[in-house]
Amino acid sequence: MAEDRRTRRTRRALNDALVGLVLERGYAAITVEDIAERADVARATFYSHYRDKDDLFTRVAAELLDELRERLKPLVAENAVGFTGKPVLEMFRHAQDRRDLYRIILRGEGDGKPLRMFTEDFVRATGLEFRKRAELNGVEPRLAPDLLARVWVGEQTAVLQWWVEHDTPPMPAEEVSRMLLDLAVHGRYWASGFPAPA
């Protein structure tokens, strides 16, 4: 038990060191030695947990995705019939809680691999949800669900990146998620101020 606590503490220190250093210097400029020194652990301790800094970053990103999935699970089930905006709001709240990590992932640090992981996982889950929702409601999507999922995720990711880059978010999570819900329900034409097409 003490060993587990010690392991968790060490990993948390290494995770925090990675995030802090990437924000300060950029991913390419930091080394395993820098991370170990910032975390106040020996290099050998680092290597007993991770192969290299890429392995550390990949695992940190994977843990973030696991956390997000858990937080979204009950809301996605509730969202099955139609758009409620609640999963989007929860994602923004999660990003607020883990802002620094979201910032370095969404910037494409680490050769973009964590960002690709985040995007592909999000696209896969969204595509499944779109298909399930269409089936439950007895409707036929007008666009290919895979394309629809990529468009939706691209919008969310771009807005999320803009939002987390501000030290003080430019608008509350509730407001930005409401706007994204309006966009999803009414479309870009409506959002741009034009009257609904006849």
* CATH architecture type of domain 1-50: Orthogonal Bundle (1.10)
Q: Which pLDDT band, with edges at 50, 70 and 90, does 192 fall under?
A: very high
**Domain edges within the chain:** 1-50, 59-188
154-176 pLDDT tens trace: 999 999 999 999 988 889 999 99
22-68 pLDDT tens trace: 999 999 999 999 999 999 999 999 999 999 999 999 999 999 999 99
134-143, 145-154, 172-181: segment of lowest average pLDDT: 134-143
* Residue pointed to by tokens 């309006």: 182
Reading the block at residue 121, the tokens are 């996982």
Q: Which pLDDT band, with edges at 50, 70 and 90, does 78 fall under?
A: low
Tell me: pLDDT of 81 over 80.
Answer: no
Count of C-beta atoms within a 10 Å radius of residue 61 = 21
Residue 136 CA to residue 197 CA, distance in Å, equals: 28
Residue 88 CA to residue 181 CA, distance in Å, equals: 8
| Confidence at residue 148, expressed as pLDDT on a 0 to 100 scale | 92
Tell me: pLDDT of 1 over 60.
Answer: no
Tell me: pLDDT of 79 over 90.
Answer: no
| Confidence at residue 129, expressed as pLDDT on a 0 to 100 scale | 86
| C-alpha neighbours within 13 Å on the C-beta side of residue 12 | 6
Class of domain 59-188: mainly alpha
100-115 pLDDT tens trace: 999 999 999 999 999 9
Mean per-residue pLDDT of the chain: 91
Tell me: pLDDT of 2 over 60.
Answer: no
DSSP letters spanning 75-120: HHHHTSSS--SHHHHHHHHHHHHTHHHHHHHHTTTTTTHHHHHHHH
Residue 149 CA to residue 127 CA, distance in Å, equals: 5
Q: Tell me the whole-structure pTM to 2 decimals.
A: 0.90
